[in-house]
A and B are shown apart, each in its own frame.
Chain A
Amino acid sequence: MSDSARIWILIAAVSVGTFLIRYSFIGLVGDRAIPRWAARMLRYVPVAVMPALVAPLIAWPQATGGETDPARLLAALAALGVGIATRNVLASIFGGMAVLYLTLWLVG
């Protein structure tokens, strides 16, 4: 199979599959009632999924070949600290990026 054929089959399969994953509950379950315990667990989706997603990226960044990087670690802590202190998304992003660039510049 040519590289291009492989790419197109992948795009087709992943886009259809991903749409079905996204549509699953919003589309098929809709507003049907779900058990109370399930609703309780779903309340914690944001704080359970995203920290898990991000933790390995911070601990072992790909850009440094998986080696823990002080600049990226500090930037992550800054984004978290500023986010909690200010409750502001923009401040959190700016805080993180500022510390990242500053530390990279100081170290590099």
Chain B
Amino acid sequence: MDHDPPDLTRAFRLGIRDGLPFLIVIVPFGMLFGVLAGEAGWSLTEIMAMTILVIAGASQFTALQLLSEHAPLLIAIVTALAVNLRLAMYSASLAQYIGATPPLGRVLAAYCLTDQTYGISMTRLARGPELTPRERLAHFLGGAVPVCIPWYFATWLGTALGSAIPPALALDFAAPITFIALVGPGLRTLPQIAAALVSVVVALALAALPYNLWLLIAALAGMTTGALTEIWLERRA
């Protein structure tokens, strides 16, 4: 297969553009972390170190809550990491597309692999145009720009403003809306819809399980459903 020479700048710019809509939800979500961590008595240095080094919202909220409840430190660490285990699935999925790119680029991609950056990349890959592995990496890193950098600033802003932010803004709901916006526009085929439905049902049924086990089981159930439905459709055709 012949490809035009890779146009990394264009792919990177396309990534930025694809990521921009998420600013609307990243900012309130990051601010919420800043507000809550500030209220829990964390210093600005601690808050910013957490948000820059961990850069994974759901686990940050989990760890913050457990430490505030005086849970054992080890439990807080293990639970936060369990929340992030889903990122291994994103990593495995993304490796299919950018596995052949230079190591340094992949280190950077690993650092900013989040629900949003992964979703932005997958949406573009599903829609085309066809990209070379390096262009995919450039697009992924472009998509990370409007997600990761505003995440830092929003956290700082949340800490600075603190409880001056009215609860009526319902900052908490920015995250769910983001995830829906990441999935809804890409739901097309029967296997995809079946996978999504099964994952929702299993997640709700098992929600009481500890250590985010419900999420991992629901995700595996959804993935298996998608794969089996795909095989079933192929055999029928």
Contacts and interface: CB of A to CB of B under 8 A. Distances in A.
A10 B180 contact: no
A99 B77 CA distance: 37
Tell me whether chain B's interface is mostly helix, strand or loop, or mixed. Answer: helix
A44 B195 CA distance: 7
Interface size class of A (residues with CB under 8 A): 35 or more
A62 B196 contact: no
B13 interface: no
B49 A49 contact: no
Interface of B: 21-22, 24-25, 41-43, 46, 49-50, 53-56, 58-59, 63, 67, 73, 76-77, 80-81, 84-96, 98-100, 103, 106-107, 109-111, 113, 115, 118-119, 122-123, 133, 167-168, 170, 172-187, 191-193, 195-200, 202-204, 207, 214-215, 218-227, 230-231
Nearest to B79: A14
A26 B94 contact: yes
A59 B218 CA distance: 16
Tell me whether chain A's interface is mostly helix, strand or loop, or mixed. Answer: helix
A100 to B, nearest CB: 6
Contact of A50 (B73, B119, B172): B119
22 contacts: A11-B54, A14-B50, A18-B56, A18-B87, A30-B95, A30-B106, A42-B92, A43-B230, A45-B223, A46-B122, A48-B226, A50-B119, A52-B200, A52-B222, A61-B172, A63-B167, A75-B173, A84-B184, A89-B181, A90-B24, A92-B177, A93-B178
